[in-house]
Amino acid sequence: MITGAHIMLFSKDADADRAFVRDALGIDHVDAGGGWLIFKLPPSELAFHPGDENGGTEFYLMCDDVEAEIARLTAMGRTCEPIREERWGRLTRITLPGGGKLSMYQPKHATAHG
């Protein structure tokens, strides 16, 4: 029986990115030992998209109001890309302290997670 999913995001500064997710995004976590934080994710969805190769993955956080989330993160000194209107949702990318990008969108489509 499948009981969950574990998603790994690789970072040049994992400690800074963990602190960002803990402090700025406020996502609950457990310490797996030695400060290695594992974050509880909100309800999730899995979709399969056509691609030229197998095995590619993308990770997106979902929100109800992308403008409000951008305003909240910007007030904390975080950088978000301008909203892109897509057929399927309103998309931004958050710049992480480690230099990576984390996609976040407000879906325009029905969601499977409730």
| pLDDT at res. 18 | 96
In a domain, 7, yes or no: no
Q: How many CA atoms lie within 13 A of 10 on its CB side?
A: 1
Structural domain boundaries, residue 24: 14-41+57-107
- The CATH code of the domain that includes 36 is 3.10.180.10
In a domain, 46, yes or no: no
In a domain, 8, yes or no: no
Q: What is the 3-state secondary structure (H, E, C) of the chain?
A: CCCCCCCCCCCCCHHHHHHHHHHCCCCCEEECCCCCEEECCCCCCCCCCCCCCCCCCCCEEECCCHHHHHHHHHHCCCCECCCEEECCEEEEEEECCCCCEEEEEEECCCCCCC
Task: Using the structure block, give the residue that is written with the tokens 């992480």.
Answer: 96
114: confidence class by pLDDT, cuts 50, 70, 90: low
Tell me how far apart the alpha carbons of residues 72 and 68 are, in angstroms, rounded to a whole number: 6
- State how far the alpha carbon of 71 is from the alpha carbons of 2, 13, 37, 74, 109, in Å: 37, 25, 26, 5, 23
In a domain, 26, yes or no: yes
In a domain, 5, yes or no: no
Q: What is the per-residue pLDDT across 40-84, written as a single tens digit (0 to 9) for each?
A: 998 899 999 999 999 889 999 999 999 999 999 999 999 999 999
The total number of structural domains that make up the chain:
1
Two structure tokens written together for 106: 């407000």
In a domain, 25, yes or no: yes
pLDDT reading at 89 higher than 90: yes
23: confidence class by pLDDT, cuts 50, 70, 90: very high
| pLDDT at res. 87 | 94
What average pLDDT score do residues 9-16 get?
A: 95
